[in-house]
Amino acid sequence: MSDRVTQIRQAFQERFTGAPVVVRAPGRVNLIGEHTDYNDGYVLPVAINRDVMFAVRPRADRVVDLYSLNFRASAPFSLDRLVPDRSQPWSNYIRGVAQQLGREGLPLTGMEGVIEGNVPIASGLSSSAAMEVAALMAFQALGGWELDGAKAALLCQRAEHEFMGVRVGIMDQFISRLGKRDHALFIDCRTMQYEAIPLNARGYVLMIADSRRSRELAASEYNVRRSQCEEAVAQLRAGLPEIEALRDVTPQQFRQHNWRLDALPGRRARHVVSEDDRVLRAVAALRGQRLAEFGALMNESHESLRFDYEVSSRELDVLVGAARLVEGCVGARLTGAGFGGCTVSLVREEAAPEFERHVTAMYRRETGREPIIYTCTAEAGAGVIGG
Ligand code: GLA
């Protein structure tokens, strides 16, 4: 990472004078608890060693002029005219966050500088949330105010709802802002209470396999899933009038009342209810260092996402299937919204090279595509790197 900090500082100095403020916000991998956050449920994500960085300095006017090293483009805009830019969509995350901060009445300064990221885009590792949270951190660092972590996450989520039109849950922005090094966060997405769970199982690593199929239909299908869950709640209320979200339905209640549900909302709800339960059991397993049990829950989560929630893809299924054939891989599942993107696997350290070799070969053979496979570590949430 320090190499990238040096590079971004250099890139800043080639274009501007003075010393920049550098902020970063990480992407995430979710270990378990998929499509539960917008159902008021539980999630267990990790902030990873991939992030978005902004190296910026304030401007006297209300212009935000940032150069993206990834896209080799800038997309200047005025804080007084926040409209989407179709030609440089990456800048919309920054615009959307600026809009929300403005609505909160927080003083915003214009800024200029460079941004760079190494979270793969549209791969299910939350490059969007990393952009939003990094933008917020930049405005915060230059604005001289400080927003509470959970509030910052909510505000970035709102930017995504209103500016990007995707009704995402709170998980990605929350973990990007509040992640803790060497820990996963067990988050209750209703109360926003969270607990850091140590990832100190010696001898295991988290491996990410990127299918390199970007998430087609992700935005529209995501919103459809969300509506189907709302429909399920409405139908279940006939027998369970007290429920407000699928989070309120226990697996036992679900078995009792699922006859009230139409087929599709029924399958969606079965995923969410069982997934919340799996998160609780996974947290207990992690605390007790029962990694085989944890891995089995990851496997079940994938099957549920594949058959009940229907957000997997052929490529993700191939990656998961290949992973499970590797001795020393205790669990594998798709991570993030699905429809493409990445899988996450829990692998014994000594099996990591074989994992990479085998999964790559099998994926290549079955799909004709080249995956990207790497180990990831649990890092701290967003922050200022230097001033
Ligand atoms: C995306 C959303 C999250 C969450 C996941 C699925 O990453 O941004 O809020 O809903 O999908 O678990």
Residue 384 pLDDT exceeds 90? yes
> Which residues is 53 bridged to in the sheet?
24, 116
Asked if residue 295 has its Cβ within 6 Å of ligand 1, the reply is no
CA-to-CA dists, residue 46 to 30, 59, 69, 175, 190, angstroms: 6, 35, 26, 7, 19
Rounded CA separation 147/228 (Å) = 34
- What is the share, in percent, of the chain residues with pLDDT greater than 70? 98
pLDDT tens string 127-155: 999 999 999 999 999 999 999 999 999 99
Residue range 310-334, pLDDT digits in tens: 999 999 999 999 999 999 999 999 9
- Give 102-131 pLDDT, tens digit per residue: 999 999 999 999 999 999 988 889 999 999
Ligand 1 atom closest to the Cα of residue 169 is 9
Model confidence at 387, in pLDDT bands (50, 70, 90)?
very low
Report the nearest-CA residue for atom 2 of ligand 1. Answer: 168
**Pocket residue to mutate for ligand 1, from 132, 171, 278, most atoms within 8 A of Cβ:** 171
Q: Is the pLDDT of residue 214 over 90?
A: no
Ligand 1, from 39, 43, 132, 168: best to mutate by most atoms within 8 Å of Cβ? 168
> Does ligand 1 come within 6 angstroms of the Cβ of 34?
yes
The mean pLDDT value for 197-224 works out to 86
The pLDDT confidence band at residue 217, using thresholds 50, 70 and 90, is low
Question: By three-state DSSP, how is residue 314 classified?
Answer: helix
The structure tokens listed for 60 are 């006297």
How many helices (H) and strands (E) are present in the chain, helices listed first?
11, 14
Give the pLDDT confidence score for residue 201 in this predicted structure.
73
pLDDT value for 81: 96
Segment among 80-84, 164-168, 174-178, 191-195 with least mean pLDDT: 164-168
Mean pLDDT for the chain overall: 96
- Label residue 192 exposed, middle or buried (CB < 10 Å: 0-12, 13-18, 19+): middle
| Protein residue closest via CA to atom 1 of ligand 1 | 337
Mutational test site, ligand 1, from 32, 37, 161, max ligand atoms within 8 Å of CB: 37
Residues in the chain: 387
Distance (Å) from CA 263 to ligand 1 centroid? 23
- Average pLDDT on 291-311 reads 97
Torsion-angle region of 30 (φ positive above 0: left; ψ -120 to 50: alpha; else: beta) = beta
Supply the pLDDT for residue 142: 97
**pLDDT value of residue 1:** 52
How many other C-beta atoms lie within 10 A of the C-beta of residue 227? 12
Alpha carbon of 37 to ligand 1 centroid (Å): 7
Rounded to the nearest whole angstrom, what is the distance from the C-alpha of residue 286 to the centroid of ligand 1?
A: 22
Q: Is 116 in the pocket of ligand 1 (CB under 6 A)?
A: no
Q: Which one, of 71, 21, 336, 54, lies nearest residue 209 by Cα?
A: 336
Is the CB of residue 175 below 6 angstroms from any atom belonging to ligand 1? Answer: no
Active site residues: 172
Q: What is the pLDDT of residues 12-69, one digit of tens each?
A: 999 999 999 999 999 999 999 999 999 999 999 999 999 999 999 999 999 999 999 9
Would you say the CB of residue 248 lies under 6 angstroms from ligand 1? no
